[in-house]
Structures are given as C-alpha cells and as structure tokens.
Homo-oligomer: A and B are copies of this chain.
Amino acid sequence: MLNKFIVERLILYNRICKDFSKAGKKWVTSRDIAEVLSKTSAQVRRDLSKLGKKGKPGVGYKIDELVMEINKLLGLDRHWNIVLVGAGNLGRALFFYPGFKREGFNFKMIVDSNPDKIGEKWKGIEITPVANLVQDINKKDIDIAIIAVPSASAQEVCDKVVRAGIREILNFAPCNLNVSDDVEIRYADLALELQNLSYTLKSRKNR
C-alpha cells in the first residue's frame, strides 16, 4: 500500500516530531519537518496526507496526534518479538543497544553456533544452540529474526529461520540472501554505508 520511500520518510518524521515534542513544542508545520530533512514542505504534506488525521490549515499538525497516527500506520504501536542469531561482538552490541527496546522491539531468544557460548545468559535470556533453531522458534512467538553471523553461515541460518516460519529478517551479514518472495529482508550492511561515503569522498577529491 505505502511505498518504501514514504515508509522510510514517515519513520523519520516520527523521530523528528518526538524531538520537537521533547523540546516542548505542541504543534508542527510541514515546513518545520521539511527543514530538518532538507526536503520540500509539499512532500511532507503529501506523505502526511496518507494518515487518518488531518492538519489544521494555518496552524499545522498536533504533534502527539501525528506521532500516534504514524505509529499506528507503521505498526509501531505494539511490541514485536525478536530472535537474535549470532552472539558475537555485533550480536552483543545489538542486544544491548537501548534503542530497540525503546521502540518496542524485544529480544526473546538468542542463538549461536559456538558451543562455548551455549548456556551463557544475557539479561536472563539463555543462548541456545543454532541446531535447535527451527523447533525452538516454533515454541515462541517470534516476529523478526536478526542475523548477525559471518557471511559464510548467513544463508544457512536464514534458511532455518524461514523454515521456522519467520517472514521478516534484518540481515547484518554482508551478503545477499536467497529467499522466496514472501520473505522480507532488510540489509543492514555496515560496510555498504561506508562504501557509499567513499563515492562522495572520491568525487570531492577529484574536484
């Protein structure tokens, strides 16, 4: 229904509104939001017109209503359960990253292939063997899998996760994963972001 551009921007608007709210603002205009992102106010208005609530001409949008509407539209008004696959450095950082819980994403399960890690507990959650992944996931009510294993094993754990019925995956391994069309994968490839910067850096140096 909504295309990915709009969804991505709505998420940003949401964060911006929350910041405005923290700063004591009650109302916000399309231009206020647009300025933060260096976009046009027309685009912000068109995006916001997808929401149920309308803005007030001459005034703008009531911030707390707007945040609620965006949350509702994006499914951020509830909790989602997560399985973390891979308890290495990156997995640990993700697990203890405060932003996830704050946004309603709860780790319910941690899985690793390293026998030394099995049985270790993080915030009361025991790390379990990757071998049991499929049956274990089925017992819990998991919505999303975060893959934080080396590329070499990413496809393998991805297959398991999908076999266990998960349809939403956030992949931190720097590789493409092969899945059927009904599985949604987002790639959070850290090196990829740096490579993007590389291009602007290089263009700058050549100028």
Give complex CA distance A80, B93 in Å: 24
Please state if B97 and A90 are interface contacts (CB–CB under 8 Å).
yes
Given A73-B199, A188-B188, 13 more A-B residue pairs with CB atoms under 8 Å apart are: A2-B199, A8-B192, A8-B196, A15-B175, A15-B176, A74-B198, A75-B201, A93-B93, A98-B150, A99-B189, A102-B191, A144-B197, A188-B193
List, in ascending order, chain B residues with CB within 8 A of A82's CB.
Answer: 194
Q: Contact residues of A with B, CB < 8 Å?
A: 1-2, 4, 7-8, 11-12, 15-16, 19, 36-38, 73-76, 80, 82, 89-90, 92-94, 96-100, 102-103, 105, 143-144, 150, 167-170, 174-176, 178, 181, 184, 186, 188-205
Q: Which chain B residue has the least Cβ–Cβ distance from A105? A: B194
Q: Which chain B residue has the least Cβ–Cβ distance from A6? A: B199
As for how many copies of this chain the complex holds, the number is 2
Pick from B76, B175, B184, B195: contact of A200, CB under 8 Å: B184
Please state if A144 and B201 are interface contacts (CB–CB under 8 Å).
yes
Cβ-closest 3 pairs across A and B: A75-B202, A93-B93, A99-B191
Please state if B197 and A168 are interface contacts (CB–CB under 8 Å).
yes
Distance in Å from the Cβ of A27 to the closest Cβ of chain B? 19
Pick from B37, B175, B190, B204: contact of A97, CB under 8 Å: B190
Please state if A94 and B176 are interface contacts (CB–CB under 8 Å).
no
Please state if A176 and B7 are interface contacts (CB–CB under 8 Å).
no
Please state if A190 and B190 are interface contacts (CB–CB under 8 Å).
no
With A103-B191, A192-B11, A204-B167 as known contacts, state yes or no: A197 contacts B176, CB within 8 Å. Answer: no
Please state if A193 and B186 are interface contacts (CB–CB under 8 Å).
yes
List, in ascending order, chain B residues with CB within 8 A of A144's CB.
Answer: 194, 197, 201
Distance in Å from the Cβ of A147 to the closest Cβ of chain B? 12
